[in-house]
Amino acid sequence: MHEVIISEKPKSAEKIAKALSSKAKKKKYGKKINYWEFEEDGKRTTVLSAVGHLYSLTSATSRDRLGFDLTWVPAYEVEKNSGYVRDYVYAIKKLSRDADKFVHACDYDIEGTLIGYNALKYACGNNAEAKASRMKFSTLTKKDIVEAYNHMIDIDPHQVDSGIARHMLDYYFGMNISSALMKAVRSTSSSRISLSAGRVQTPTLSILVDREKEIEAFVPEPYWQIKAKSDFDIVANHVEDKIFDEERAKKIFDECQGADATVTDVNVKETVRKPPIPFNLGGLQSEAHTVFGFSPKRTQVAAQNLYVGGYTSYPRTSSQKLPESLGFKEIFAGLLNGLVIGALVAGIAMFYNFNPWFGLIAGLAMIFCKLSLILPAWIRICRRISASAGDALSAISSSDKIAPKIRSSRYLLGVSAPKSASRTVAFSSSAT
């Protein structure tokens, strides 16, 4: 029996093969394409990989690619920068010819589902997509991979349809509407300006234009605020707050000159502040830009690298739940190998029950100590603890030449922590 497993990226294929068998061996198709193979109990398993989307949409009837009758073709046939895809398509076609069983092991989201589905349907052929089973995992850890392999499910047709619909909408906007816009401009002028439309881009641009018009139409109105500062550094605002009448503001100000204030009431309010939660991708990108100045794309690539390496859960999701299979205690154990950070992590694990605030301290301390910036690091750490809910250390990628064992962050260590309470005291006063 021959089983073929399709993963989304080469690194994922390696992780899956090694998790499923200690006998997995790396082989080559041609000079560039790596794949993995092992045999156990009379069953030969080949783990192949895509490299993102192998297939793209194009018009089925028009040479200029415009129209609404679309079909899927290999990406290298219609995209200039996708020549590297050719070898992956050929490898899947050849190495899956005699397969009896197919397994879809791409990322469990809409895009990942569509990537694997198209590889099965068009590269493997022979109705492979209908016969395939689906591995569902949120981390590329051995425990999650083995669990997903032992409890496979069917491919979700709704995810497939959603992926196809998204790509078709992108095509209709990106190709058809963009072309129509440029033709409209050229028909009324000699300008050959390039215009583009997009499923997300165009509505977003409309929102920005509307907001800019509101800003331009806004007429500022001056106002005055009166504040009283006591000897105890308590600042009291006048009950009217913003006063739009200058004469009235001056009158109130003059009446308050030299007058004493009496505290007539004290209200104490207790609020509960929940511990920081794990990042979703948007929150991670925002925090990484604030703390490190990373672009959204750099953060996304870095987060994807950490996921493929088995250090974080799948990043391209709005979910903020972390699976137990990440192995938080094992992560701390790995961090203990660092000389400088070892004592910190030991204290964290013992006294703070994996509180993500201290994951923040450990992560930032380690990275900055590695960069020989110990003193400035601690200053920044203290500032971040008081000003933010967590750090964006997950945005550090392998390209930054930092050992994987130090990649801990709120994104990775966002487990439950004790709630804290704060008190707010409000004063009301009257001039005497």
Q: Which two tokens stand for residue 328?
A: 């938080």
Q: List Cβ neighbours of 390 (8 Å cut-off, separation of 6 or more).
A: 276, 279, 287, 356, 357, 360, 409, 410, 411, 414
Please give the DSSP secondary-structure letter assigned to residue 23.
T
**Count of CB atoms situated within 10 Å of the CB of 367:** 22
Three-class DSSP category at 365: helix
What three-state secondary structure class fits 76? Answer: helix
Name the β-bridge partners of 57.
Answer: 72
Residue 401: how many other CB atoms lie within 10 Å = 8
Task: Report whether 322 contacts 278 (CB < 8 A).
Answer: yes
Contact 155, 106 (CB under 8 A): no
Q: So which residues are the catalytic ones?
A: 314
DSSP assignment, residue 415?
-
Give Cα separations from 357 to 125, 325, 386, 403 (angstroms): 50, 21, 10, 21
Q: Count the Cβ atoms, other than its own, within 10 Å of residue 10.
A: 18
If we measure between CA atoms, which residue out of 266, 231, 190 comes closest to residue 424?
A: 266
DSSP H or E run through 45: strand 43-49
Q: Report the C-alpha gap between 120 and 103 in whole angstroms.
A: 9
Tokens of 389: 């809910």
Report helix angle 10-20 to 142-150, nearest 10: 80
Q: Which segments of 2-74 does DSSP mark as H helices, in order? A: 10-20
State the amino acid at position 125 in one-letter form: G
Radius of gyration for the alpha carbons in the chain, expressed in angstroms and rounded? 29
Q: Is residue 42 helix, strand or coil?
A: coil
Q: Is the distance from CB of 107 to CB of 304 less than 8 angstroms?
A: no
